[in-house]
Chains A and B, each alone.
Chain A
Amino acid sequence: MKHASLSIANPAPLMTSLRHKIALAAAVLGGLLLVVVWASGQAPAAWWLLFLSLSLFGLGLGLYVKETYFGQPAGVRHHLLWFKSITARGVWAWVLGVLFTGFYVCLYWFPQYLQGLIRLFDPLSRVFRNTAADQWFVYGSLYTLALLYMGVRFIAKYRYNRYQVIRTISVMFFQFGFAWMLPGLLLRLQQPELYFTYFWPLNYFYGTPNAHDYFTGTGNLGTFFFFFGLVMFFVASPILTYFYGKRWYCSWVCGCGGLAETAGDPFRHLSDKSLGAWKLERWMIHSVLVFVTVTTALLWINAFNGRFLFGGASETLYKTYAFLVGSVFSGVVGVGFYPLLGSRVWCRFGCPMAAWLGIWQKKKSKFRITVNGGQCISCGNCSSFCEMGIDVRQYAQRGQDVVRASCVGCGLCAAVCPRGVLRLENAAEDVGQRAQSVRNGGE
Chain B
Amino acid sequence: MNIIILGNGVSGITAARFIRKKSDCNITVVSDESDQFFSRTALMYVFMGHMRLRDLNPYESWFWDKNNIHLLRDRAESVDFFSKKIHLASGQILTYDKLVIATGSAYRLPEARGLELDGVQGMYHLADLENMERHAAYMNTLSPNDPARRAVVVGGGLIGIEMAEMWHTRGIPVTFLIREKSYWSGILPPDESAMVGRHLQKHHIDLRLDTTLDAILPDAQNQRCTAVKTNTGEVIPCSFAGLSIGVAPNVDFLRGSALDMAQGVLVNEYLQTNQPDVYAIGDCAELRQPAPGRRAVEALWYTGRAMGEALADTLCGDPRVYQQGIWFNSAKFFDIEYQVYGFAPAGQEKDTATLFWQHPEEDKSIRLFYAADGGRILGFVLMGVRYRHEVCERWIQQGAHVETVLQNLGMANFDSEFSTQHEAKLVALYNKNTGASLQLQKRRGLGTVLHFLRQTSKT
Chain A residues engaging chain B, CB cutoff 8 angstroms = 1-15, 72-76, 78-84, 160-163, 166, 274-275, 370, 372-375, 377-381, 383-384, 393-394, 397, 411, 414-415, 418-420, 423-430, 435, 438-442
Chain B residues with CB under 8 A of A435: 450
Contact of A373 among B363, B388, B418, B450 (CB under 8 A): B388
The reply to whether the CB of B51 lies closer than 8 angstroms to some CB of chain A is yes
Contact of A380 among B56, B60, B202, B330 (CB under 8 A): B56
- Contact (Cβ within 8 A) A6 B201: yes
Known: A73-B202, A377-B41. A83 touches B453 (CB 8 A): no
Chain B residues with CB under 8 A of A377: 39, 41-42, 301-302, 330
Chain B residues with CB under 8 A of A166: 418
The reply to whether the CB of B422 lies closer than 8 angstroms to some CB of chain A is no
Chain B residues with CB under 8 A of A76: 50, 335
Known: A14-B170, A384-B50. A379 touches B39 (CB 8 A): yes
Contact of B173 among A2, A8, A83 (CB under 8 A): A8
The reply to whether the CB of B417 lies closer than 8 angstroms to some CB of chain A is yes
Known: A162-B419, A377-B39, A438-B453. A420 touches B206 (CB 8 A): no
Chain B residues with CB under 8 A of A161: 416, 419
Q: Please measure, in the bound complex, the distance between the C-alpha atom of A75 and the C-alpha atom of B205, giving whole angstroms.
A: 16
Chain B residues engaging chain A, CB cutoff 8 angstroms = 10, 39, 41-42, 45, 48-52, 55-56, 58, 60, 144, 168-175, 181-182, 197, 199, 201-211, 301-302, 305-306, 328, 330-332, 334-335, 337, 339, 363, 386-390, 393, 414-420, 445-447, 450-451, 453-454, 457
Chain B residues with CB under 8 A of A439: 390, 450, 453
Using A379-B45, A393-B58, A438-B454 as known contacts, list a sample of 4 further A-B pairs with CB atoms less than 8 Å apart, ordered by residue number in A: A5-B208, A378-B42, A435-B450, A438-B457
Contact of A75 among B302, B334, B453 (CB under 8 A): B334
Contact of B389 among A2, A8, A74, A374 (CB under 8 A): A374
User: What would 22 A/B residue contacts be, using CB atoms closer than 8 Å?
Assistant: A4-B201, A13-B171, A73-B203, A78-B49, A162-B419, A162-B420, A274-B60, A372-B389, A375-B339, A377-B302, A379-B45, A380-B39, A380-B42, A393-B58, A394-B58, A420-B387, A423-B414, A424-B417, A426-B446, A428-B447, A430-B446, A439-B453
Known: A9-B204, A394-B58. A81 touches B446 (CB 8 A): no
Known: A75-B334, A427-B447. A10 touches B172 (CB 8 A): yes
Contact of B171 among A15, A373, A378 (CB under 8 A): A15
Known: A7-B204, A11-B204, A370-B446. A418 touches B337 (CB 8 A): yes
Contact of B335 among A3, A5, A75, A372 (CB under 8 A): A75
- Contact (Cβ within 8 A) B169 A13: yes
Known: A5-B205, A82-B51, A384-B55. A73 touches B39 (CB 8 A): no
Task: Across the A-B interface, give the 4 residue pairs with the lowest CB-CB distance, nearest first.
Answer: A373-B389, A75-B335, A420-B386, A379-B42
Q: Please measure, in the bound complex, the distance between the C-alpha atom of A203 and the C-alpha atom of B414, giving whole angstroms.
A: 38
Chain B residues with CB under 8 A of A82: 49-52
- Contact (Cβ within 8 A) B418 A429: no
* Closest CB in chain B relative to A421 CB, distance in Å: 8
- Contact (Cβ within 8 A) A374 B201: no
- Contact (Cβ within 8 A) A79 B301: no
Known: A378-B39, A441-B393. A163 touches B45 (CB 8 A): no
- Contact (Cβ within 8 A) B201 A415: no
- Contact (Cβ within 8 A) B48 A79: yes
* Closest CB in chain B relative to A197 CB, distance in Å: 22
* Closest CB in chain A relative to B410 CB, distance in Å: 14
Q: Please measure, in the bound complex, the distance between the C-alpha atom of A229 and the C-alpha atom of B319, giving whole angstroms.
A: 61
* Closest CB in chain B relative to A396 CB, distance in Å: 10
- Least CB separation from A430: chain B residue: B450
Known: A2-B209, A379-B45. A414 touches B201 (CB 8 A): no
- Least CB separation from A72: chain B residue: B203
- Least CB separation from B50: chain A residue: A78
Known: A74-B335, A79-B49, A380-B55. A415 touches B204 (CB 8 A): no
- Least CB separation from A161: chain B residue: B416
Contact of B208 among A4, A78, A414 (CB under 8 A): A4
Chain B residues with CB under 8 A of A425: 445-446
- Least CB separation from B236: chain A residue: A8
- Contact (Cβ within 8 A) A424 B55: no
Chain B residues with CB under 8 A of A378: 10, 39, 41-42, 58, 301
Chain A residues with CB under 8 A of B41: 377-379
- Least CB separation from A274: chain B residue: B60
Q: Please measure, in the bound complex, the distance between the C-alpha atom of A420 and the C-alpha atom of B388, giving whole angstroms.
A: 9
- Least CB separation from B458: chain A residue: A442
Most chain A CB neighbours (cut-off 10 Å) among B170, B174, B175, B457: B170
Q: Please measure, in the bound complex, the distance between the C-alpha atom of A80 and the C-alpha atom of B450, giving whole angstroms.
A: 40
